[in-house]
Amino acid sequence: MPEHLTPLEPGSLAGKTALVTGSSRGIGADTVRYFAQAGANVVINFRNKAPRAEKLAAELRGLGVQALVVGADLTDPESVAALFAEVQRAFGSLDILVLNASGGMESGMAEDYALILNRDAQVRVLENALPLMTDGARVVFVTSHQAHFIRTTPTMPEYEPVARSKRAGEDALRELIPELTERGIGFTVVSGDMIEGTITATLLERANPGAIASRREDAGKLYNVAEFAAEVARAAVDPVPADNTRLVGDTGSFVAE
């Protein structure tokens, strides 16, 4: 099996519990799979892909771990509270929280939907998780270079509102670092370039044909879903970087602040 498909040491997360938001498919699903391969009990969270989430849970239970499936609308405070009540009932505590779910390019949503999901909901999820997290726990926020560097590097007009909302979410979470540090909880932002095969990449390509090929040419290589998810999983166990940031892939086209 290729190394990147088992990024964590088998058994290294035995007895731990990990929750990945938006984990019924894509980067979230692969991340939660890597945690389960390492022995963690996992919480698979989805918004509207219940059958897919249940299928993934059945696969992961085959590894000998517990897998809890909980649907939740992260923009709804009551739904988020119910999610963590389920986690507490099933596991009593939470060791790893990966804030992976995001969006904003969907059609037919309210104008401020991207900000509500990518900023407000992220903070709400973390605040609801904190009572279950103890010293040594880890939080990972998943973002893109297009969002992380948006204040200094323009992105495609189609993606700009989402990028700005993701950066607002990152900033809001970073403001909580002192409180997290005080509790002994590590926080890392994982930022990646466009990822081949994600929903966002597909939507961008639809709005701006050729966008992916153009970005691939500039970067030299784009990570696929499995490869990027491996970086997200590692970020939950590796030492927290001094600037709380793990940059994945080429950043040559982006200007740091």
Q: Is residue 256 in a domain?
A: no
In a domain, 253, yes or no: no
Kindly state whether residue 34 falls inside one of the protein's structural domains.
yes
Considering the domain boundaries, does residue 254 fall inside one?
no
d(CA 2, CA 236) in angstroms, rounded, equals 21
Position 86, amino acid? E
What's the confidence (pLDDT) of residue 148?
Answer: 97
Matching residue, tokens 């779910």: 101
Instruction: Please indicate, yes or no, if residue 114 is contained in any of the structural domains.
Output: yes
Q: What is the pLDDT of residue 134?
A: 92
At how many degrees (to 10) do helices 50-61 and 26-37 cross? 20
User: Residue 46: beta bridge partners?
Assistant: 71
SS3 151: coil
pLDDT digits (tens, 9 = 90+) for 45-66: 999 889 999 999 999 999 999 9
Residue 55, classified by CB atoms within 10 Å of its CB into exposed (0-12), middle (13-18) or buried (19+), is middle
Domain range spanning residue 106? 3-248
The helix/strand/coil state of 67 is strand
Q: Which of 246, 195, 204, 200 is nearest to 224 (CA)?
A: 195
Q: Look at residue 40 and tell me if it is in a domain.
A: yes
Report the SS3 class of residue 247. Answer: strand
What residue ranges of the chain have pLDDT lower than 70?
1-4, 199
In a domain, 188, yes or no: yes
Does any domain span residue 255? Answer: no
User: What does the pLDDT read at residue 3?
Assistant: 41
Domain count, the chain: 1
DSSP letters spanning the chain? --GGGS-S-TTTTTT-EEEESS-SSHHHHHHHHHHHHTT-EEEEEESS-HHHHHHHHHHHHTTT--EEEEE--TT-HHHHHHHHHHHHHHHS--SEEEE-------TT--TTHHHIIIIIHHHHHHHHHGGG--TT-EEEEEEEHHHHTTTTS---TTTHHHHHHHHHHHHHHHTTHHHHHHTT-EEEEEEES--BT-HHHHHHHHHSTTHHHHHHHHHS---BHHHHHHHHHHHTTSPPPTTSEEEES--TTS---
* CATH number of residue 59's parent domain: 3.40.50.720
The pLDDT, as a whole number, for residue 2 is: 39
